[in-house]
Amino acid sequence: MDPAILVGVLSGLALAWVLLVLLLWVLRPRDARLRDLVRIVPDVLRLVRHLLADRAVPGRVRVALAVLLVWLVSPIDLIPEFIPVLGPLDDVVVAVLVLRYVRRQLGEPELRRRWSGTPEGFRLLTAVLGAA
C-alpha cells in the first residue's frame, strides 16, 4: 500500500475521532459531576448484561453491546489508557454511541423497564445520552 494513502486514511480517522470527542464534550450534560457518572457505571453494566442475556432483544442490538464490551476490555485503544484524561475518553465515546444506538432500537421506556439502578441514575444516563 502506498504510504501516502495510509497516512491519509490514518489522518482522516484521527480527525474523525477528535470531532467525535469534541461533539461529546459539547453535548455533555452541564450539571453532571464525574462522581455521579462513576456511580452509575455498575448500573449501566448490569443493564448491558441484562440486554445481552435477553433473547427478546434484537440480535443487532446484542451484537452492538457485545462489540462494546470487547472494545472496553481490549488492550488496544485509539488513545492509550496511560495518557491522563484522554486515555479513557475513547472508551466513553464508544460507550455513549453504542448506548444511543441501543436506545434508538429499543426505546427509552424499554431501557427504563430494565434499569436496576435509581431513578436519578437513569435520569443521568439519559442526560449523558442526549435527546432521544
* Residues shown for the chain: 132
> Of 31 and 119, which is predicted with more confidence?
119
Q: Which H helix or E strand runs over 26?
A: helix 3-27
Which domain covers residue 17, as residue numbers? 3-129
Q: What is the pLDDT of residues 46-98, one digit of tens each?
A: 999 999 999 999 999 999 999 998 888 887 777 776 776 666 777 777 888 89
Query: Could you tell me how many helices (H) and strands (E) the chain has, helices first?
Result: 7, 0
CA 52 centroid distance within chain = 15
Distance, C-alpha 38 to centroid of its chain: 14
Q: From 104, 96, 82, select the one nearest 44 (Cα to Cα).
A: 96
Grid cell of 54 as nine digits: 435477553
Number of domains in the chain: 1
CA 29 – CA 32 distance, rounded (Å): 6
- pTM, whole model, 2 decimals? 0.73
In eight-state DSSP terms, residue 107 is: -
Per residue in 110-132, pLDDT (tens digit) is: 999 999 999 999 998 998 888 76
